[in-house]
Structure 1
Amino acid sequence: MATTPSPLVSAERLQARLEDGEPVVLLDVSWQLGAESQRPAYDAAHLPGAAWVDFETALSGEPGAGGRHPLPDVATFEDAMRAAGVSNESHVVVYDRWRSLPASRCWWLLTYCGHECVQVLDGGFPRWESLGLPVSDAAVSPSRGNFVATPPGLDVLDADGAAEYAERAILLDARPADRFRGENETVDPVAGHIPGAVSAPALANLQEDGRFLPPDDLAMRFTAHGVEPHAEVGVYCGSGVQAMHTALALEVAGVGSQTAVYVGSWSHWITDPDRPVAGPA
């Protein structure tokens, strides 16, 4: 299996591959923080053949001491991917309806578990639909895959590791800038950020139509935040979703060394009152 050249695929390129009969496993992981389940939207319209993957049960563990969205149990994630038709040799394309945030989470998890050919549909379902490309309301029952997770292929930070990155390397905070400053905090019970972190909101990595900025523009943006081509970069957010979106953007930009994600993020950091907090501003 050829190595995927980019973690993103355009709607136009994906449609061409599907028309050519290339085998692609499509995953719809639509989800939005604080919103109702997106399953009804999936049932009404999805990419033809796309399997539904539930974010809360497949892409996240139970909320608690590890934060709002800790890593799922590996066996649970494996089983969900197999049920969706994923095998280790599959070419997987994942998408959502919310600015590629949950899709980036699935991309990161599959890559973390050793899958070598997974891409995010750039612009997600909204752009696919806006181009008039085919959608379906037909039920999807994929043939069960045989995906087996292998040793982690990406770096994960704990709280001590995040603090260490903030001190000696670069730690990006992917939440909106006002939450970084300790303003308008409506999600977590403590406002502020990890001391030494740099504000780099994840959604600023996107164009107005929901697609990621071009690689050169992303590289310029991250360079402005102090990320040099071979710098060590850590990233966190509120609960590990926007952090993985930023890890994807860093991969697209080709800057920094392998990105380390603090999965527990702010929702885990604040569980220990002895950990320092910067802000509110």
Structure 2
Amino acid sequence: MTAIISASELADASAGPRPPVLLDVRYVPGAPPGRPEYEAGHLPGAVFVDLDAELAGPPGAGGRHPLPDVAEFGAAMRRAGVSSGTPVVVYDAGLGWAAARAWWLLRWTGHPDVRVLDGGLAAWDGPLTTEVPAPAAGDFRPVPGGLPLLDADTAAALARDGLLLDARAAERYRGDVEPLDRVGGHIPGAVSAPTSENVGADGRFLPAGALAERFRSLGVTAGNTGPGTGVYCGSGVSAAHQLLAMEIAGLPAPALYAGSWSEWTSDPGRPVATGPEPS
């Protein structure tokens, strides 16, 4: 099983004997929830999942999108019809950042079969519907710990002694602009690795070999794969896309700093670096 699914593969799976549960996680940072877009047209059978309300806890010192309460996350997934023995496919309307957040949370809490629609809604050429489904409740019971996590201290240690990738746009890494958080820049020692470079012009992921080469060029080696590599972004959303790309590339799962830059900069005592990476 791969971490992504094409639109044609999804169409076949949806018509098969074991159709997946579909989750629509449309989300734009700083914009209202994507429910109106969902109601205007979505994949048949898809259930809307609100990233802010169901895939994150309340914003605060832990960042703009801290991890949700596990029990509340499990209840939201069961309402959406998610069961442990049923495949799940997640999609959004963008580059896959929000969908990757749902993918990562389900994997982190133990779901064995979850994939992201490659290319998102734009890749789907089948019918859309405005009918809102009422799925039977699922039985998924989340058990956290399936993927490695970082906090601020372990992220700092990894930036110093291992490899910490910054998934935000390069201008945010450098501190040229900061549209969302208190201060611009990056965690000292982190390497700039914009998530947008995981996909091609069509919004689909690059081939596995190209992704593997990309991560090798960023410093991912046999000696630091898995928890020896960490990833962060602004609030722990787009960083999940980096983890998804690394899985497609066949690399062991790196550790996610879920609080990311929004948590890091909530403490003015934590150091901030600006400018490009040292040559």
What's the TM-score once normalised by structure 1's chain length?
0.94
In structure 2, the partner of 1:113 is 109
The match for 2:196 among 185, 190, 203 is 203
CA RMSD between the two structures: 1.1
- Secondary structure at the aligned position of 2:160 is classed as helix
- Secondary structure at the aligned position of 2:164 is classed as strand
2:191 partner amino acid: V
- Secondary structure at the aligned position of 1:145 is classed as coil
Matched, 1:219 2:212: yes
**CA deviations over 1:173-231 (Å, ceiling 9, x no partner):** 00000000111112112111001100000111011111111100101111100101452
* Aligned counterparts, 1:77-226, within 5 A: 77-128=73-124, 132-226=125-219
**CA deviations over 1:108-153 (Å, ceiling 9, x no partner):** 000000000000000111111xxx3121111211111011012410
- Secondary structure at the aligned position of 2:94 is classed as coil
> Retained in 1: the 8 A contact 2:18–2:86?
no
Structure 1 stretches of 4+ with a deviation exceeding 3 A read none
Q: Can you give the 5+ residue segments of structure 1 that lack an aligned partner in the other structure? A: none
1:111 partner amino acid: R
- Secondary structure at the aligned position of 2:183 is classed as coil
Deviation at 1:280, TM superposition (A): 4.4
**CA deviations over 1:79-133 (Å, ceiling 9, x no partner):** 10000000111100000112111100000000000000000000111111xxx31
In structure 1, the partner of 2:246 is 250
> Retained in 1: the 8 A contact 2:182–2:266?
no
* Percentage of matched positions with identical amino acids: 52
Give, in whole Å, the separation in 1 of the partners of 2:173 and 2:212: 22
The match for 2:260 among 260, 265, 270 is 265
Deviation at 1:167, TM superposition (A): 1.2
> Retained in 2: the 8 A contact 1:70–1:264?
yes
The match for 2:28 among 20, 29, 32 is 32
The match for 2:18 among 17, 22, 42 is 22
2:164 partner amino acid: L
> Retained in 2: the 8 A contact 1:46–1:136?
yes
Deviation at 1:20, TM superposition (A): 2.7
Give, in whole Å, the separation in 2 of the partners of 1:102 and 1:21: 28
Give, in whole Å, the separation in 2 of the partners of 1:83 and 1:211: 29
Give, in whole Å, the separation in 1 of the partners of 2:144 and 2:8: 34
Give, in whole Å, the separation in 1 of the partners of 2:54 and 2:15: 30
Q: Can you give the 5+ residue segments of structure 2 that lack an aligned partner in the other structure? A: none
- Secondary structure at the aligned position of 1:258 is classed as coil
> Retained in 2: the 8 A contact 1:234–1:262?
yes
Give, in whole Å, the separation in 2 of the partners of 1:21 and 1:137: 24
**CA deviations over 1:49-106 (Å, ceiling 9, x no partner):** 0111111110010000100000000011001000000011110000011211110000
- Secondary structure at the aligned position of 2:111 is classed as coil
The match for 1:275 among 254, 270, 274 is 270
Give, in whole Å, the separation in 2 of the partners of 1:271 and 1:18: 44
Give, in whole Å, the separation in 2 of the partners of 1:186 and 1:151: 32
